[in-house]
Chains A and B, each alone.
Chain A
Amino acid sequence: MKSRKLSIPYIIWMLVFTMIPIVMIGVTAFRDKNGGFSLEPFQKAFGYSNVFLKSLLIAFLSTLICLVLAYPLAYLLTKMRHSTQQTVQMILMIPMWMNFLLRIYAWVILLQKNGPLDTALSILGIHGSYIGNTAAVIVGMVYEYLPFMVLPIFTVMSKIDHNLIEAAQDLGSNSAAVFRKVIFPLSVSQYLGGTDDIMIGDVIDKIFWTDQNVGSAISLVLMIFIFVFLVLMNLFGDEEAIA
């Protein structure tokens, strides 16, 4: 029971499968195709700064909408009887157990031309496709992450001995957690967005198969960004932002 040895397998595991791979990204990012030292991958990576900024904007808007929608719902949950609370929580979580790509695919079907939304709105004389734009990407994102926003806020609200400042901090860290998840999803924008809605995750995916150096450089920038973001959150909030 007092033994520290039990953690040795995991420490070795982390070294091999977490630390070394991250170091490899760092090394690859500073190399050119011939294997020599070069800053070229970063120069190329900064060519995608527009995509990065747009990704941030989409992530920020999605998080904000999630927060605005989730807050009242979490509040209403606290007003319910315990058994109703459990049922509603279950109803909120069930869609999240569907496969991630199936959920996106469902939105593709729903929003496409001649799809259900188009058919419904055509009664009013409006026709068109509702897919392939930034709004569709944001809807997809809000859909993906709304339940993950409601439940933590609810947990925070239902604590009885909870002062206002703590509540605000928890809210901040929950938003931060969702924001972090939303920033770099792969393939949401591929299927729901238009050609100029491509997000940074998809860029890495596209580039990495042909140019590992530039792919690594962008990944490294992302990681550094996340860490700076976390450090800032920890200055203002509590440690929960990490989990």
Chain B
Amino acid sequence: MQKKKLGIVSKIYIALIVFFLYAPIGVLIFMSFNKGNTTVWKGFSLKWYGELFKSTRLMNALGNTLIIAALASVLATILGTAAAIGINNFRGKSRALIQNASNLPIISPDIVMGVSLMLLFSFLGVIFHFEMGFGTVLISHICFCVPFVVLNVMPRLRRMDQSIYDAALDLGCNQWQAFYKVVIHELMPGILSGMLMSFTYSVDDFVITHFTQGAKFNNLSTEIYAMLRRKIPPTINALSTLLFVAIVVIMVLINVFERRAEKKQAKLK
């Protein structure tokens, strides 16, 4: 495709969209340095950042979000990768059935999934005497993460050459070595992108956590939700700013690494 310099109208259009996407975040960042506790500017101050780190509720919620996301994405990746390898050996109708069942959590609206899991957990809770909390949230997050892992690993499996695995066996690997060194190695890009997707969906989830959190457990989303119902503390602005900075740093780093890898590959060719 021909790459030309973009015209002025195109550039303005892109600038407007970027402005639309960043204006709300910009406002939050600006407000996080406001001395006053309303949206009226009262002078520069860093006091909300101090308040933020003193707020045990927000810090706890942030910790919970990260722990759940880490555990859910790792467990979902293990479960999903194994599942994908297994499913790949099914053929015909049974394969289609399993895959469609696996896609259900992606297809059904979050709220339906949240509600259905809440029904299950409250039913089981009565029988086995437990309350909803960390455990039920973790299970629920694994539920919506696994399908993404399966979807990411599946195409890699289909492209993989079965004979490499057989060759590894012939060359003296035992089954586990061959599995680990050949299969997992080949699937790695899919496994990693599935895990990354799981992590980000878990961090961003509100609806499903909302229905399965029980009375005491909160992640960042549900905590902010609870705060939004009352008067909003300006510490949320400070939190948004810090999260935004962290995200930008991570994204830029990922981007830089990707470009380096691409350049290396281009050189090899």
Contact = CB atoms under 8 A, between A and B. Distances in A.
Interface of A: 1-11, 13-14, 17-22, 24-25, 28, 69, 72-73, 76, 78-81, 83, 86-88, 90-95, 97-103, 105-110, 112, 114-116, 143, 146-147, 158, 160, 180, 183-184, 186-187, 191, 201, 204-205, 208, 212, 215-216, 219, 222-223, 226-227, 230, 242-243
Contact of B221 (A7, A13, A101): A101
Interface in B233-260: 236, 239-240, 243-244, 247-248, 251-252, 255, 258-259
B24 A143 contact: yes
Interface in B1-40: 1-4, 6, 10, 13-14, 17-18, 20-25, 27-28, 31, 38-40
A24 to B, nearest CB: 4
B119 A10 contact: no
A146 B137 CA distance: 29
B83 A1 contact: no
A109 B236 CA distance: 12
B263 to A, nearest CB: 10
B190 to A, nearest CB: 14
B213 interface: no
B109 A226 contact: yes
B134 interface: no
28 contacts: A3-B85, A3-B86, A4-B89, A7-B82, A10-B83, A10-B150, A17-B120, A17-B143, A18-B105, A20-B120, A21-B117, A24-B116, A76-B6, A79-B4, A86-B255, A86-B259, A92-B21, A97-B251, A102-B236, A109-B27, A115-B27, A143-B20, A186-B206, A208-B115, A208-B211, A219-B115, A222-B109, A222-B111
Contacts of A187: 206, 225
Contact of B39 (A22, A114, A180, A223): A114
B115 A18 contact: no
Contacts of A143: 20-21, 24
A184 B110 contact: yes
A109 B179 contact: no
A99 B224 contact: yes
B87 interface: yes
A158 to B, nearest CB: 8
A107 B26 CA distance: 11
B79 interface: yes
Given A22-B116, A76-B6, A95 B25 contact: yes
Contact of B40 (A78, A90, A114): A114
B13 A73 contact: yes
B68 interface: no
Interface string B96-131: 001001111111111111011111100100000000
Given A102-B240, A106-B240, A79 B14 contact: no
Contact of A102 (B22, B80, B83, B243): B243
Nearest to B90: A4
Nearest to B254: A90
A242 B228 contact: no
Interface of B: 1-4, 6, 10, 13-14, 17-18, 20-25, 27-28, 31, 38-40, 79-80, 82-87, 89-90, 98, 101-113, 115-120, 123, 139-140, 142-143, 146, 150-151, 162, 165, 175, 178-179, 183, 200, 203-204, 206-207, 210-211, 220-221, 224-225, 228, 232, 236, 239-240, 243-244, 247-248, 251-252, 255, 258-259
Contacts of A106: 24-25, 27-28, 240
Nearest to B243: A98
A6 B84 CA distance: 8
Given A106-B25, A222-B112, 18 more contacts: A1-B165, A1-B175, A7-B82, A9-B79, A11-B83, A11-B98, A13-B143, A14-B104, A21-B113, A22-B104, A24-B120, A86-B255, A95-B21, A99-B204, A100-B221, A102-B243, A115-B39, A160-B1
Contacts of B84: 7
Contacts of A87: 255
Contacts of A80: 3, 6
Nearest to B78: A9
A186 B108 CA distance: 14
A73 B14 contact: yes
B86 A216 contact: no
Contacts of A110: 23-24, 27
A93 B17 CA distance: 12
A230 B86 contact: no
Contact of B111 (A21, A158, A219, A227): A219
